Amino acid sequence: MIIGYKKDLDGVIRAAVALKKNPEATMVCGTNARELKEKLAVYHGEIVMNVDEVVKDVPFHIKAELWIRMPSCGPMQRGLSLGSYITYALRNDQCVPNELVRLVARHYPNNFMAILAHKDSTAKKYYRLQRETAGELERIKSYCRFRLSGDMLYVEVCPKHDIKDLFMEWAMRRNGDRIIVVKCHGEYYILNARALGYKAEIANVTKEEAERLLGDITEMDSEIWDTFYDSQNVESRRNKRYAKARLPEKFSYISPEIRKERKKIEHGIPSNTLDDFRSDGRLP
């Protein structure tokens, strides 16, 4: 039997239940319905079923247990729930969905906490992957810089993992009163797009459409802020080792702002002042 499921939290849970019922089944994962249909089409002469046909519904108590947080290790740490564990692990670029399904199936239905305790090698692996994914999302939130273009905002991010939709949802909550244009891996998205007449709040648009909306994005705003922050630098208090530890070089891919900060860490901050900035003719 071939059982197909989508690469999301509900799909993984249903697939785990289906695998528990049918241990010999072959599981096939698709990022979306179209990709799943294409993958299942290659199995000729086999019994092919969608996971929704095998598992009509996940028991309510299982759904509720997904969001129970495991007790944290310290008063300042938030406990982790299985729902968050699976969601972030699935978005990691090293995730193997079938491996995650087998992990959940192994502990279904009464021992989910053993997964969060990561007592075996597979659980440890996906605990590490979900931490990487969640950490990247928090770093993007911290280091991205929204730039003004008229009444709109523009931001560019390049996440390694599949978290662009989570970032965009956060950006919409943070700036609910503005149109936001996001560039991510060469694709352009408009957030709060209904205000411009689009059918959804998030619209995927062409580069030409995004440039038409934004017009010319001036570099003046970011240069002013960079010069202001650099002017507050005290060279004698510079701690290059600590700065490199807090912002490692491996995170430079996330956004242009992080690449700029890494350059300052490696090469130092020039002793500029706002008066120098004005004398260059860049300020009126």
Cβ neighbours for 103, distance < 8 A, ≥ 6 positions apart = 115, 122, 123, 126
DSSP code of residue 203: E
Cis check: omega of the bond before 248, within 30 degrees of 0: no
172 close to 201: Cβ distance less than 8 angstroms: yes
CA 70, CA 209: separation in Å to the nearest integer?
Answer: 46
What is the pTM for the complete model shown?
0.80
Mean pLDDT of the chain, nearest integer: 85
Residue found by looking up tokens 């998030």 in the block: 202
Q: Comparing 7-11, 208-212, 242-246, which segment has the lowest mean pLDDT?
A: 242-246
Q: H or E segment at 229? A: helix 220-231
With a cut of 80, say whether residue 72 has pLDDT above it: no
d(CA 205, CA 25): 40
pLDDT of residue 75 exceeding 90? no
Supply 36's token pair.
Answer: 């799943």
Cβ atoms of 143 and 257 closer than 8 Å: yes
**Conformation bin of residue 171: beta by default, left when phi > 0, alpha when psi is -120 to 50:** alpha
Sheet containing 202-205, strands listed edge to edge, beginning at the edge strand earlier in sequence: 147-149, 152-157, 180-184, 187-191, 202-205
Tens digits of per-residue pLDDT, 116-156?
888 889 999 999 999 999 999 998 898 888 888 888 999 99
Which tens digit of pLDDT belongs to each residue from 56-65?
999 999 999 9
Asked if 139 and 259 count as a contact pair (C-beta separation under 8 A), the reply is no
Domain boundaries, the chain: 2-139, 144-214, 220-279
pLDDT digits (tens, 9 = 90+) for 176-233: 899 999 999 989 999 999 999 999 999 999 999 998 888 766 555 666 666 766 776 6
Decide which of 224 and 51 is more confident: 51
Report the pLDDT value the prediction gives residue 74, as an integer from 0 to 100: 54
